[in-house]
Amino acid sequence: MTTSTTARVLGLLELLQGGGTRTVPDLAARLGVDERTVRRYVAHLLDLDIPVDAVRGRYGGYRLAPGYRMPPLMLTDEEALAVLLGLLSGQRGGPGAVSGASAAAGESAAAKVRRVLPVTLRRRLEALLETADFTDRPRPAAPPRAAVLLELAEAVRGQRPVAFAYTDRAGDDSARTVLPYGLVAHSGRWYLTGAGRDGGELRIFRLDRITSVRLLTGSFDVPDGFDPAATVLDHLARTPWTHDVSVRVRATVGHLRDRLPAGIAALSEAGPAGGWDGGSSDGSDDGSGWVHVRIRAERLDWIPPVLAALDRPFVIERPTELRDLVRALARRLGAYADADDQPGQGG
């Protein structure tokens, strides 16, 4: 085949990839050839062991055999870049991280995409990947089983009850029957929101703790206005932890929401903090109100640096030991600032 013929045969394959049955006149018009040439191109595809079915009848034409997984992947440079960066963000972390597949599967898929990229584009992508980094890495977590995620997605879309085996945070196993309302990916983990079979108390389940999902008969209605993501974030913020931290910060909710970890910090408008004159740290009034911040944490050592990074006046309501940790951090920072023996100085 000539170069132009090869390009049109691949173009035909791309059209058939769109699914459904395509008529010969439609294919001819899209490819800019006559109908006889379309049939010849189909013969070329068959010679390459690509199963193209001929559909007879008034609305007949050609289609790919159902279930056929085609090896050719035809992407533009921008599409290939989007796919590869999406896969790598899932491995490295970041706001768009994908956690529904194993690391091995993600690496394998990324390698396959790289192999089919043009040399110039592949070289430029390698340069990007060697120099770029990803922020907001998700915490380490075992991904859910692909079958579990897909089965639950079907149940959510079809509003079908499900039964599954579940292992809670204490390691206890149990059988659950749930009305699945929604799926949420957050900070490297997948969560299922739903209610009991009787539509009672709302529950949140981690998908990596779910096994043996089974669709049940019947259907249900999701409550009006239900927001799965907001429900999961609220649940995570209220989950019992070792420490229940309460702090009032002079700032706006928007300012704090961008700087505090979602899912463990609950924010609400608050009145003036007792014992505080209402001024900002430099003695001026920046117009901000007070926000009540409630944080659930297993450890307290990471909270003082977070509070310092807010650069806003704050009052610690509880626990008392957090005040000691903040004072200790302030003393260390003061000592660092006053140190005379700096690198590159002294004799």
Q: In Å, how far are 6, 30, 71, 73, 147 from 14, measured between CA atoms?
A: 12, 11, 12, 9, 29
CATH number of domain containing 192: 2.30.30.100
Using N-to-C axis directions, what is the helix angle for 24-31 and 35-47, rounded to 10°? 90
Out of 226, 253, 271, pick the residue that ends a domain: 226
Give the containing element (helix H, strand E) for 202: strand 202-206
- Return d(Cα 103, Cα 91) in angstroms, integer: 6
Which pLDDT tens digit goes with each residue over 193-218?
Answer: 999 887 678 899 999 899 889 999 99
User: Residue 123 is encoded by which pair of tokens?
Assistant: 């070289």
Q: What's the mean pLDDT when you consider all of the chain? A: 78
CATH number of domain containing 277: 3.30.70
The answer to whether residue 162 is domain-embedded is yes
Average pLDDT of the segment spanning 12-39: 87
The answer to whether residue 257 is domain-embedded is yes
Do 212 and 263 belong to one domain?
no
User: Residue 341 is encoded by which pair of tokens?
Assistant: 């023996």
The answer to whether residue 150 is domain-embedded is yes
The DSSP annotation for 262-314 comes to TTTEEEEEE-PPTT--S--TTSS--S--EEEEEEEES-STTHHHHHHHH-S-E
Do 168 and 250 belong to one domain?
no
Does 181 score more than 60 pLDDT?
yes
User: Residue 16 is encoded by which pair of tokens?
Assistant: 């058939």
- The residue among 24 and 72 whose pLDDT is bigger is 24
pTM of the model: 0.46
Out of 179, 196, 226, pick the residue that ends a domain: 226
The answer to whether residue 346 is domain-embedded is no
Give the domain range for residue 126.
77-131
Which pLDDT tens digit goes with each residue over 56-109?
Answer: 877 778 988 876 655 555 666 667 767 776 776 655 544 334 444 456 666 777
Residues 6+ apart with CB under 8 A from 268: 253, 291, 292, 294
Cβ atoms within 10 Å, residue 115: 8
Q: Do 147 and 213 touch, CB atoms closer than 8 A?
A: yes
The answer to whether residue 69 is domain-embedded is no
The answer to whether residue 331 is domain-embedded is yes
Which pLDDT tens digit goes with each residue over 121-165?
Answer: 777 667 666 655 554 444 545 667 778 888 898 899 989 999 999
Alpha helices in 32-102 (DSSP H): 35-47, 77-92
Out of 14, 31, 64, pick the residue that ends a domain: 64
Structural domain total, the chain = 4
